[in-house]
């Protein structure tokens, strides 16, 4: 396959596969009740996936070629603290971004 054809193959395979993942339960199970033990695990889906997704990006950021960076680390912790205390996503992002730029300014 040419490079372009491969790229489009990846786009559509990923798109269709992702749709199937999104549709599988709301589309096929419908309104049937799921057993309590499944629901109990599902309550923790987001907190089980997102921290694990983000932790390597914080410790080994792509912007520094994988080198741990104090400014990014402190910004990450600040974002988490603000998000936890205020329960407000936007305050957390703004606080985290401000911390990052301040840190990069001080260190750089």
Task: Give the footprint of other proteins on residues 34-73 (CB under 8 A).
Answer: 34, 37-59, 61-63, 72
For other proteins (CB under 8 A), the number of binding residues is 77
What's the Cα-to-Cα distance from 49 to each of 53, 54, 74, 86, 103, rounded to whole Å? Answer: 6, 9, 22, 22, 28
107 near other proteins, rule: CB under 8 A: no
Question: Does 90 engage in binding with other proteins (CB under 8 A)?
Answer: yes
Q: Are 72 and 61 in contact (CB under 8 A)?
A: yes
Among 67, 101, 106, 107, binds other proteins (CB under 8 A): 101
Residues 8-27 that bind other proteins (CB under 8 A): 8-15, 17-19, 21-27
Which residue of 35, 82, 106, 107 would you call a contact of other proteins, by CB under 8 A? 82
- Rg (Cα) of the chain, in Å, rounded? 20
Tokens of 87: 């329960």
106 interacts with other proteins by CB under 8 A: no
């Amino acid at each position: 396959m040419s490079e372009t054809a491969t790229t489009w193959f990846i786009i559509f395979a990923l798109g269709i596969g992702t749709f199937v993942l999104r549709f599988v339960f709301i589309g096929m199970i419908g309104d049937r009740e799921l057993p309590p033990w499944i629901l109990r695990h599902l309550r923790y889906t987001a907190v089980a996936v997102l921290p694990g997704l983000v932790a390597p990006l914080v410790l080994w950021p792509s912007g520094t070629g994988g080198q741990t960076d104090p400014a990014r680390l402190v910004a990450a912790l600040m974002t988490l603290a603000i998000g936890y205390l205020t329960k407000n996503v936007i305050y957390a992002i703004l606080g985290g971004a401000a911390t990052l730029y301040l840190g990069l300014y001080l260190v750089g």
